[in-house]
Each structure stands twice: as C-alpha cells, then as structure tokens.
Amino acid sequence: MTFKAIALAATAATAMASQTMAQESWTMTTTWPSSLELIETDRHFVELANKLTAGELTIEFFDGGSLVPSGEVFGAVESGTIQAGADWPGYWAGRDAAFSPLATTPSLFNAVDYVNWIQQWGGAELYNEIYGNFGMVYLPYGVTNNESGFRTKEPIVSLDDLQGKRLRLSGLEQGKLLERLGGNQVSMAGGEIYQSLERGVIDGAEFSTPNVDWSGGFQQVTEYWATPGWHQSASVFGVMINQASWDALSAETQEKLRIAADATLLWSLAFTEKRATEAYAKFDEVVEINRYDDETLAEVQKMANEVIVETACENPNSAKVYLSMVEYLNDYAQWRDASAPFNLGRTPNGPDAEALRACIE
C-alpha cells in the first residue's frame, strides 16, 4: 500500500469514527412527573448537556412515568434498558442504606454543606462508589435546601402534636426519627399524596420545598403547615448513568457532562430558593404557618443524632458516608463559626464521629 493510500485510509477511518461519535444518543427519563417542579432541574441539565456535547451526544429526555414507573428507573439504568435516569438517591435505600444520606439527612446538612462536601470534601467519590456497586456512574446536579415540613389539617406546634399522627414521610432515618417522636411513618409515592390527604387516609404529609408542594396542590387539601423541615435539612438530585454507556463516551464528552452537572447544581440552588420564596408568600395567604421553637429543634437534633448512628451501624457503607459528612462538618466548623454572622449556615451539633468510625471498624 502506498503512502497516499495509507493516508486516505486513515482519513476515512477518522471520518467514520467522528460520524459514529456524532450519532451517539441516549435515552433518559426521571422519577418525576411533569406536574412536579422538581423535573425542571432535570430539564435544565439535559438542555445544557445537549448544548455542550453538540455533535458528540444527544440526550432524549422523557418525563417520569412515560417510559417506566418511577420506582423502576434505577433498574432500567442498571440493566442498560436506558442509558440515564434522573433520581433522588433516597428512593433506593432498600438496595443500600447508604443511598439515604446521599439524598438527604435528618437535621444535619444544609444545601451549601452538600455542595461543599460533593465538590471539595470527597462526596462525589462516594456517590460513584455506591452507585458503582450497581454498575452506574452518578453525577449530582441538583440541590435544594430544607424541605417545607408537614402539611396537615390540624396544627402541629410542638412534638406532642405528632403523637399518633399518620404522616407521609420519605427516608429510612426519617421514619425511625418520626416514630421515636411518637408519629407513624406512611410511605407513598408523591403522586398519591393529594388524594390521601383529601380522603383522610393520612393526617399529614411532607414532600418537598414550598414551590414543589404548591405545584402538587397540597394547599387545597390542608390548612396548616409546620416548619422547618427538620426531617430533610437539604436534598440532592442527579443522574444515574449506565457504566457501559459512560465508558463508550470519549473523555472529552464525559468532562462536558460533568461541567453540565456542576453548572446545574449551582443553578438549582438559586432557582429553588427563588421559587420557594414565591411559594411561601402564596402559602402564607391560604394556610396557617407554625414554626417549631429552638428548644424543640434542639430535642429533634439530639434524637436525630441517635438515629443516624443507629442506622449507620447497621450498614458499613452508610457509616462510611455519614463519617465523611461529619468529618467535613468538623473540618469546616472552625472557619464557618469564625465568620459568623456572615457564614454559610450553622454548624450543627451532629453525631459523634468516633461512634460512626466504630461502626466501620
């Protein structure tokens, strides 16, 4: 073969490879239906990712429930039926309890804590370690601050008011904490909450931030709101990616997806806080809002710490995640507290790091 022929063959091979990359396409869905505002973060990521990877990757996005039921998104990505799925990690705590703190914490992290921890204190690596056990890569790209709290037909002002209440509540540790406080956890999908409140199947419910709760219509079937949402002091959302699909991408395309995720993470915080502010004003006109006093929240914190250690000691992966979180809090505390009142949130009086470390060893 002549040099010219070799050059032409190499050029053709390069062109074919480029064409193949240009034709790469993914199917992605989410756990959220179009009626809930949480889906906006997923849409933002997909739009940005498609812009950044133009000519390399196209992600076709489907609303929650349109391809598979929400509870089957994990399995669909794990099996490779679809390449990507947006989620809230806590939905998979039945597979590994470590998914719970990767999604939220009871009375511990705020939204900035999650961002700090994910970006600079080793959190991102733990997401990929836990999801990696199921053949997936994970990109956290959404964060919200504390959830609204309970929406009920009777006022909840103190912990005594929780006694015997049947409350829709997500989360492993959250359920244990509620039961310790005298309430009863009822698990159900977000789409079932409205009718369950309307029919009196449950006494109250939590779901998300004020704007998401408003989009769910809960103001139409409740009269009282107990805040703050100590059960979920912040929440993280992101995209599960099938490992084989991820590996098929070039390093450059993978990096562009990471950039899209990081940008969406910051956008989501500002977006949801603005929308939550607007929704709070609307709720204030139609329901009675009651805030727990500081003494009550301190008591919740004490019980939350006990539940965190207890739950962590049942699962080494959960203990590993919580220990990393608490070590971050302890490391960050000196500077955060020194910069008060201009700091980024409180330093919680959280669980003991040594107690968590003992759960691993």
Phi, psi angle pair for 108, to nearest 5°: -135, -90
Give me the amino acid identity at 292: Y
- Binding site per annotation, positions for substrate: 147, 168, 206, 232
Binding residues: 147, 168, 206-207, 232
Q: How many CB atoms lie within 10 A of CB 270?
A: 9
Beta bridge pairs of residue 229: 147
Which residues are annotated binding-site positions for Na(+)? 207
Cis peptide leading into residue 101 (ω within 30°): no
The encoded tokens of residue 4 equal 């010219």
The C-alpha angle 119, 121, 127, rounded to 5 degrees, equals 70
Q: How many CA atoms lie within 13 A of 75 on its CB side?
A: 8
Tokens of 179: 């039961």
As a whole number of angstroms, the distance between CA 102 and CA 274 comes to 24
Half-sphere exposure of 84 (CA within 13 A, CB side): 27
Which ranges of the chain would DSSP assign to H, the alpha helix?
Answer: 3-22, 39-52, 73-79, 99-103, 111-120, 123-132, 172-180, 190-199, 210-215, 243-247, 251-286, 294-312, 316-338, 353-360
Q: Which residues pair with 150 in a beta bridge?
A: 226
Sheet holding 224-227, edge to edge: 184-186, 166-168, 204-205, 150-152, 224-227, 288-291
Show the tokens assigned to 191: 């789409």
The tokens for 306 are 């006990």
Cα–Cα dist 24/134, whole Å: 23
Q: Counting Cβ atoms within 10 Å, is residue 58 exposed (0-12), middle (13-18) or buried (19+)?
A: middle
